[in-house]
């Protein structure tokens, strides 16, 4: 099994909002770290999850698939999912795969948190 | 098409093609930039494949969240041992993709490069071909992914990959899909069996091609989301099965019109 080249750090920023800082490669190897980060982010009555992609370096189609799985889990828990920090390239991928219709995308953290009602 | 294991390509004749992964990314570009399809709103089909792509041209792609039915992740794997590396496997799979399909089905793709739109004709077993297609969403040297258009049986994507573990190379097909509309959802259990037959036969052919005859294909199914997305029930408007039947029935009218035009 390949070692994940990704790190996922969770910040609880108050108001039921958690930010997951994703740094590195989002591929098949990051399934466990992503789901562990989701579990950690979901503690304490979190109802809004914000994914920070500022440190995203590489993503393949399996990575996009994992985001769908994450989205389904969040929807099941009635949690809202949003994202920020996507470069133009990754924003285009979100549009192409139509993930942007299910995950709200923002330019930066303050906009994302503002939308999430935590700022 | 069934491939005779006797005709399997000797490993020494399998050449690694030049892949984007081997080249460093251009400065300022993401490392994966060359692997993804360009963003498109609606699909276009080449003029020489337009006749086969009548159910694809002008359609939007559909991800898992644009479908209707329950969300399934299905994985088919076959162990190939040391007969081939993951990169060699994917090179061969891309080069002969449609040849590995079971008889009676047709893949109108050419090179399996990101952004290519490939019409397909699927044998429904009811004396009718269902015409739909795929977009090559992603392709690198160890995997490639198709995304489906409106009207396809499934909304989502299908990834073909090769990976190495302690036992050698494994070929994998993984689909993440929802039936696209209520009619397809009703037919899920029939379609599921069809999918099993189709992809298992495909993988046996792939394995034989790289020198592994009589391969055993394993299948694993995971229900990711048991909820249906009712707001997408209107997808039935694009249903490719219905439109394929209508296209077939209207063939005489099209012939008459073409005759008058000449």
Q: Which of B157, B156, B178, B213 is nearest to B7 (CA)?
A: B213
How many angstroms from the chain centroid is the CA of residue B181?
19
Confidence band for B5, pLDDT divided at 50, 70 and 90? very low
- For residue range B198-242, list pLDDT tens digits in order: 999 999 999 999 999 999 999 999 999 999 999 999 999 999 999
Question: Which of A57, A64, A72 is nearest residue B31 as measured by Cβ atoms?
Answer: A57
What gap in Å lies between CA B123 and CA B21, rounded to an integer?
A: 35
The pLDDT score that the predictor gives to residue B222 is 94
The nearest alpha carbon in chain A to B175 belongs to A65
Cβ separation A93–B36 shorter than 8 A: yes
Is residue A58 within 8 A of residue A27, CB to CB? The reply is yes
The pLDDT score that the predictor gives to residue B26 is 64
For residue A87, list chain B residues with Cβ-Cβ distance below 8 A.
30
Confidence band for B50, pLDDT divided at 50, 70 and 90? confident
Cβ separation A68–B33 shorter than 8 A: no
Q: How far is B52 from chain A (nearest CA, A)?
A: 23
Cβ separation B62–A87 shorter than 8 A: no
The nearest alpha carbon in chain B to A102 belongs to B65
For residue B231, list chain A residues with Cβ-Cβ distance below 8 A.
none
Q: How far is B118 from chain A (nearest CA, A)?
A: 17
The nearest alpha carbon in chain B to A93 belongs to B39
The pLDDT score that the predictor gives to residue B27 is 64
Is residue B3 within 8 A of residue B99, CB to CB? The reply is yes
- For residue range B155-203, list pLDDT tens digits in order: 999 999 999 988 899 999 999 999 999 999 999 999 999 999 999 999 9
DSSP 8-state symbol, B258? H
The answer on pLDDT for B20 being more than 60 is no
Into which CATH architecture does domain A13-108 fall? 2-Layer Sandwich (3.30)
pLDDT more than 90, % of chain A: 85
Question: Which of B35, B63, B73 is nearest residue A97 as measured by Cβ atoms?
Answer: B63
Best B24, B27, B36, B146 residue to mutate vs chain A (most A CBs within 10 Å): B36
Cβ separation B157–A96 shorter than 8 A: no
**Domains parsed from chain B with CATH numbers:** 46-225 (3.30.530.20)
What gap in Å lies between CA A84 and CA B68, rounded to an integer?
A: 28
Q: Considering only the C-alpha atoms of chain B, give the largest distance between any 2 of them, rounded to a whole number of Å.
A: 65
- For residue range B244-259, list pLDDT tens digits in order: 989 888 888 888 888 8
Q: Which of B57, B222, B64 is nearest to B145 (CA)?
A: B64
Measured from the Cβ of residue B118, the count of other Cβ atoms closer than 10 Å reads 23
Is residue B126 within 8 A of residue B108, CB to CB? The reply is no
- For residue range A3-41, list pLDDT tens digits in order: 668 999 999 999 999 999 999 999 988 899 999 999 999
The pLDDT score that the predictor gives to residue B252 is 86
The pLDDT score that the predictor gives to residue B10 is 44
Best A35, A60, A94 residue to mutate vs chain B (most B CBs within 10 Å): A60
Cβ separation B138–A61 shorter than 8 A: yes
Cβ separation A65–B159 shorter than 8 A: yes
Boundaries of every domain in chain A:
13-108
Cβ separation B61–A69 shorter than 8 A: no
Tokens of residue B23, six digits: 């080249």
Question: Which of A60, A87, A90 is nearest residue B140 as measured by Cβ atoms?
Answer: A60
Cβ separation B65–A60 shorter than 8 A: no
């Amino acid at each position: 099994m390949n070692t994940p080249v990704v790190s996922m750090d969770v910040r609880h920023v108050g108001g039921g909002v958690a930010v997951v800082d994703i740094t590195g490669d989002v591929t098949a190897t990051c399934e466990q770290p992503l789901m562990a980060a989701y579990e950690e982010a979901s503690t304490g009555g979190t109802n809004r999850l914000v994914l920070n992609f500022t440190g995203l370096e590489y993503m393949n189609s399996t990575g996009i698939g994992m985001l769908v799985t994450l989205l389904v889990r969040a929807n099941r828990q009635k949690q809202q999912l949003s994202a920020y920090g996507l470069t133009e390239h990754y924003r285009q991928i979100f549009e192409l795969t139509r993930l942007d219709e299910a995950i709200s995308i923002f330019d930066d953290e303050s906009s994302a948190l503002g939308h999430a009602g935590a700022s | 098409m069934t491939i005779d294991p006797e005709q399997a390509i000797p490993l020494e004749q399998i050449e690694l093609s030049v892949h984007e992964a081997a080249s460093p990314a251009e400065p300022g570009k993401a490392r994966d930039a060359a692997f993804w399809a360009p963003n498109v709103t609606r699909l276009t089909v080449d003029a020489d494949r337009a006749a086969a792509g009548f159910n694809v041209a002008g359609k939007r792609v559909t991800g898992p969240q644009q479908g209707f039915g329950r969300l399934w992740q299905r994985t088919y794997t076959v162990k190939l041992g040391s007969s081939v590396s993951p990169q060699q496997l994917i090179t061969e799979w891309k080069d002969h993709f449609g040849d590995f399909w079971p008889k009676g089905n047709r893949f109108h793709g050419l090179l399996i490069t990101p952004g290519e739109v490939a019409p397909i004709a699927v044998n429904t077993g009811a004396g009718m071909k269902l015409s739909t297609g795929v977009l090559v969403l992603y392709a690198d040297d160890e995997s490639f992914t198709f995304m489906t258009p409106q009207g396809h049986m499934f909304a989502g994507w299908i990834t073909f990959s090769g990976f190495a573990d302690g036992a050698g190379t494994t070929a994998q097909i993984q689909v993440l899909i929802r039936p696209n509309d209520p009619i397809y959802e009703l037919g899920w259990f029939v379609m599921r069996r069809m999918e099993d037959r189709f992809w298992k036969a495909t993988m046996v052919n792939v394995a034989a091609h790289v020198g592994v005859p009589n391969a055993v294909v394993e299948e694993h199914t995971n229900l990711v989301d048991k909820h249906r997305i009712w707001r997408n029930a209107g997808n039935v408007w694009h249903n490719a099965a219905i439109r394929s039947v209508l296209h077939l029935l209207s063939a005489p009218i099209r012939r008459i019109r073409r005759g008058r035009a000449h």
